[in-house]
Amino acid sequence: MEKTSTGVWNSCLQIIKDNIPAQSFKTWFEPIKALRLEGNILTIQVPSLFFYEWLEEHYVGLLRKTVKKQLGDSGRLEYNIVVEKSSNSNPYTTNMPSNGNGAEGKRQSMPVPVALNKDIKNPFVIPGLKKLQVDPQLNQNYTFDNFIEGDCNRLARSAGYAVATKPGGTSFNPLMLYGGVGLGKTHLAQAIGNEIKRILPDKLVIYVSCEKFCQQFVDSLKNNTINDFVNFYQAMDIIIMDDVHNFSGKDKTQDIFFHIFNHLHQSGKQIILTSDKPPKDLAGLEERLLSRFKWGLSADMQVPDLETRMAILKKKMYTDGIELPNEVVEYVANNIDNNVRELEGAMVSLLAQATLNKKEIDLNLAKSMLKNFIKNANKEISMDYIQKLVCEYFEVPVEMVKSKTRKREIVQARQISMYLAKSHTKTSLKSIGEFFGGRDHSTVIYACQTVEDLIDTDKKFKAYVHDIQKKLRMS
């Protein structure tokens, strides 16, 4: 029986189907049409140059094998590419050329022998097409300038800055910023994008949340514009994807992002990701994608310490042109200690209420207004705060308490801090010791014993401790 192009191609497809993931098969092989079979040359029609390039890059081995299996060792494959002659450079308004009968106007067919045309790297640079312009979708308010540096974010910030000045040119690719909610991941990721646009305005930067990316992917499947979708992201110089933990369970979208990631990474483009967990703890993500996330640098963003929280609040006040008494700022920073977003929220709400009530904000007003923000009024006092209070009381520098010095007044401040930490927090003796300058738990036991003895025997000392305890309770 004489072979037909469709018959041969269908046999090829049977084999291909067994060798690649179902989604890849659907995306890259179902749209192909068998055109003709001339001798041992099978010609297939693919919907775009990009499509052809993709097949050549990813499936050439598989295609060669299957074609040879059907047509013998001399079997060859040729492509017929449907080319859009003029095109709108925005993939969201461009229709992907369908693999119909080629009757729709603006099209031409172009036979391309296998392994030629390797120089056509990207459909966006086909002569005659305008250079792609993209709105990076960045929020201009997120900059390095207004991102406060602290121990909690130093690595992430400096890696981010390095990436911003040399996108694709550092070993931080991808740069993955991870940490809990409201700790500045989005701010920093966007600051990188804004900085790149500022110093390298021609770079194509795109910021996209993972969720939006997933939605765009679903839409493009529905509208049969998957090529445009992939083209668009592959044409970027810098992609910033926020909250990649949201890929969890979305296998198809992960698959497509995996290919986009590879393409960008191979071409030296910069990838910046944020996530609520480090790559090793991300559940529901394919191993191959996770392994790529680990290629560059993962930098964590932690809860800022008291000093950094105060600095963030002060910077925000300065930017917004407002003033609050220092004790109010301190109160807010002290009591909202796990999330920068809540910290800012508390201050905004404080200001709003003060404006409405036409009252000056003092500590008492702040306390009564912030009840909603401070979930547990009797919440545990932090060791940071105890240390600060004790040091202020005795007028000794905070760093000295953590140092090795045996000066009398420092030892006293250190021992009282340890005693208060033991009685006012649920922290273990071991952690208390570590906090106050890396000491062991027996030092803490000894400190507590000494303080108790002195309270019993030294009236002045007793008064000090009671004074500080009163201040602690007031906070």
Q: Which CB atom, from 162 or from 317, has the smaller least distance to ligand ADP?
A: 317
- For Mg ion, the nearest residue by Cβ is 186
Q: Which CB atom, from 278 or from 437, has the smaller least distance to ligand ADP?
A: 278
Q: Which CB atom, from 24 or from 186, has the smaller least distance to Mg ion?
A: 186
Query: What minimum distance in Å lies between the beta carbon of 184 and ligand ADP?
Result: 3
Residue of the chain from 312, 332, 389, 421 that contacts ligand ADP (CB under 6 A): 312
Residue of the chain from 12, 44, 192, 340 that contacts ligand ADP (CB under 6 A): 340
Closest by Cα among 133, 131, 184 to 157? 184
Q: Does 388 bind ligand ADP (CB under 6 A)?
A: no
Burial state string for 56-80 with b = 16 or more CB within 10 A and e = fewer than 16: bebbeebbeebbeebbeeebbbbbb
The interface with ligand ADP within residues 213-272 (CB under 6 A) comprises: none
Query: What minimum distance in Å lies between the beta carbon of 299 and ligand ADP?
Result: 13
Query: What minimum distance in Å lies between the beta carbon of 398 and Mg ion?
Result: 32
User: Which contiguous run of DSSP H or E holds residue 270?
Assistant: strand 270-275
Closest by Cα among 430, 425, 400, 431 to 413? 400
Q: Does 305 bind ligand ADP (CB under 6 A)?
A: no
Listed in sequence order, the residues at least 6 apart from 121 whose beta carbon sits closer than 8 Å to its beta carbon are 53
Query: What minimum distance in Å lies between the beta carbon of 276 and Mg ion?
Result: 9
Q: Which CB atom, from 160 or from 167, has the smaller least distance to ligand ADP?
A: 160
Per partner kind, with CB cut-offs from 5 to 8 A, the member of Mg ion, ligand ADP, none near residue 181 is ligand ADP
Q: Does 183 bind ligand ADP (CB under 6 A)?
A: yes
Residue 107 and residue 82 in contact, taking contact as beta carbons nearer than 8 Å: yes
User: Which contiguous run of DSSP H or E holds residue 19?
Assistant: helix 5-19
Name the one range near ligand ADP by CB under 6 A: 141-149, 244-252, 264-272, 415-423: 141-149
Q: Are strands 76-84 and 41-46 parallel, antiparallel or unpaired?
A: parallel
Listed in sequence order, the residues at least 6 apart from 464 whose beta carbon sits closer than 8 Å to its beta carbon are 393, 394, 416
Q: Which CB atom, from 186 or from 417, has the smaller least distance to Mg ion?
A: 186
User: Is there a cis peptide before residue 174, judged by omega within 30 degrees of 0?
Assistant: yes
Closest by Cα among 91, 214, 197, 183 to 138? 197
The DSSP line for 184-244 is SHHHHHHHHHHHHHHH-TTS-EEEEEHHHHHHHHHHHHHTT-HHHHHHHHHT-SEEEEE-G
Whole-number Å distance between alpha carbons of 225 and 220:
5
Name the one range near ligand ADP by CB under 6 A: 64-72, 74-82, 176-184, 321-329: 176-184
Q: Which CB atom, from 239 or from 389, has the smaller least distance to Mg ion?
A: 239
Closest by Cα among 280, 277, 274 to 175? 274
Name the one range near ligand ADP by CB under 6 A: 30-38, 126-134, 182-190, 445-453: 182-190
Q: Does 182 bind ligand ADP (CB under 6 A)?
A: yes
Q: Does 278 bind ligand ADP (CB under 6 A)?
A: no
Whole-number Å distance between alpha carbons of 469 and 183:
31
Listed in sequence order, the residues at least 6 apart from 245 whose beta carbon sits closer than 8 Å to its beta carbon are 210, 275, 276, 277, 282, 285
Name the one range near ligand ADP by CB under 6 A: 8-16, 184-192, 228-236, 388-396: 184-192
Query: What minimum distance in Å lies between the beta carbon of 341 and ligand ADP?
Result: 4
Q: Which CB atom, from 151 or from 458, has the smaller least distance to ligand ADP?
A: 151
Closest by Cα among 101, 99, 111 to 31? 99
Q: Does 79 bind ligand ADP (CB under 6 A)?
A: no
Distance, C-alpha 122 to centroid of its chain = 27
Q: Are strands 41-46 and 107-113 parallel, antiparallel or unpaired?
A: unpaired
Q: Does 184 bind ligand ADP (CB under 6 A)?
A: yes
Distances (CA, A) of 32 to 39, 62, 245: 20, 15, 34
Name the one range near ligand ADP by CB under 6 A: 56-64, 259-267, 336-344, 379-387: 336-344
**Positions that interact with Mg ion (CB under 5 A):** 185-186
User: Tokens 């130093």 label which residue?
Assistant: 154
Burial state string for 413-433 with b = 16 or more CB within 10 A and e = fewer than 16: bbbbbbbbbbebbebebeebb
Q: Does 314 bind ligand ADP (CB under 6 A)?
A: no
Dihedral (CA of 259, 207, 183, 376) sign: negative
Name the one range near ligand ADP by CB under 6 A: 174-182, 255-263, 325-333, 388-396: 174-182
Name the one range near ligand ADP by CB under 6 A: 84-92, 180-188, 194-202, 223-231: 180-188
Number of residues binding to ligand ADP, judged by CB under 6 A? 16
Residue of the chain from 185, 263, 388, 422 that contacts ligand ADP (CB under 6 A): 185
DSSP 8-state symbol, 425: S
Q: Does 47 bind ligand ADP (CB under 6 A)?
A: no
Q: Does 153 bind ligand ADP (CB under 6 A)?
A: yes
Q: Does 310 bind ligand ADP (CB under 6 A)?
A: no
Q: Which CB atom, from 167 or from 184, has the smaller least distance to ligand ADP?
A: 184
Interface residue list for ligand ADP (CB under 6 A): 146-148, 153, 179, 181-187, 312, 340-341, 344
